[in-house]
């Protein structure tokens, strides 16, 4: 199993120290990541997070250009990262969304504005990363109508074609990935660097040591398989099951 990494919530307001620390680890494993860039960040949770600082647009663009030159890949991570609905969509890992639950025209408007802002920064990408992994059928149509061709989401061990888009699956869990590491295929690990602690960096470095890591840009050239509607239904059930387990564990911690 070859493993790539994506880093979510990359924006002019973020924890730069954490980003640099994670990039150092990834660089040492020759596994430069996919960067989920928020074009117009307005998420108060991120803006008010401990450890974040603000860069001006030119400085942020310069950093991204340097990372792309080093082998990183850019994806568009929504528009504002503000959750406007409580809809988990068709991959319901979470109960919130910037996109799922909105009509197609509104979603297309968000996507077009995001693309315009990315292009003003000098970046063109056809890769979409949904905030909270939440999207619906209208999102799929809107993505195609606005020029996106790739999505980083879903479960599985190979890029797959579905509804005229190419999907790059994420890992169901790190434990399962370690059990399956000797199987053929590729998959993506997801990290939110803004919230990582010392123990998270230590764990990530140890995990990468145990896996066959790859640069995300190589993942984009992997052969694809076809995913059927029943296969997508299995993904939905897996996502719902993972969310249910996570919520029960969180509830147990609160009750305890």
Identify the DSSP state of 128.
Answer: E
27 and 54 in contact (C-beta within 8 Å)?
Answer: no
In the chain, the N- to C-terminal Cα span, in Å, equals 38
Location of structure tokens 């960096």: 201
Q: pTM (2 decimals)? A: 0.95
Question: What is the β-pairing status of strands 2-10 and 186-191?
Answer: parallel
Total of domains in the chain: 1
Query: How do residues 137-185 score in pLDDT, each as one tens digit?
Result: 999 999 999 999 999 999 999 999 999 999 999 999 999 999 999 999 9
Give the whole-angstrom CA distance, residue 160 versus residue 207.
25
46 and 14 in contact (C-beta within 8 Å)?
Answer: yes
Give the whole-angstrom CA distance, residue 14 versus residue 114.
18
Question: Which residue range is the domain that position 220 belongs to?
Answer: 2-255
CATH of the domain at 113: 3.20.20.370
Cβ burial 129-151 (10 Å sphere, 16+ → b, else e): bbbbbbbbebbbebbeebebebb
Location of structure tokens 């990408």: 125
Lowest mean pLDDT among 35-49, 85-99, 205-219, 241-255: 241-255
- 188 pLDDT higher than 90: yes
- 256 pLDDT higher than 60: no
């Amino acid at each position: 199993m070859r493993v790539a990494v994506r880093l979510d919530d990359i924006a002019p307001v973020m924890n730069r120290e954490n980003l640099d620390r994670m990039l150092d680890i990834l660089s040492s494993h020759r596994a430069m990541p996919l960067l989920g860039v928020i074009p117009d960040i307005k998420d108060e949770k991120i803006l008010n997070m401990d450890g974040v600082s603000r860069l001006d647009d030119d400085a942020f663009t310069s950093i991204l250009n340097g990372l792309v030159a080093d082998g990183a890949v850019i994806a568009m991570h929504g528009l504002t990262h503000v959750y406007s609905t409580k809809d988990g969509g068709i991959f319901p890992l979470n109960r919130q969304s910037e996109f799922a639950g909105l009509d197609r025209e509104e979603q297309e408007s968000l996507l077009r504005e995001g693309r315009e802002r990315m292009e003003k920064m000098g970046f063109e990408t056809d890769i979409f990363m949904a905030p909270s992994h939440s999207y619906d059928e209208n999102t799929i149509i809107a993505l195609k109508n606005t020029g996106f061709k790739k999505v980083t989401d879903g479960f599985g061990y190979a890029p797959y074609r579905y509804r005229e888009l190419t999907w790059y699956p994420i890992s169901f869990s790190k434990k399962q990935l370690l059990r399956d590491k000797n199987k053929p295929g590729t998959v993506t690990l997801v990290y939110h660097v803004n919230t990582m602690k010392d123990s998270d960096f230590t764990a990530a470095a140890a995990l990468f040591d145990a896996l066959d890591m790859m640069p995300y840009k190589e993942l984009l050239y992997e052969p694809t398989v076809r995913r059927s509607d029943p296969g997508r239904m299995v993904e939905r059930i897996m996502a719902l099951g993972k969310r249910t387990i996570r919520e029960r564990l969180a509830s147990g911690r609160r009750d305890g």
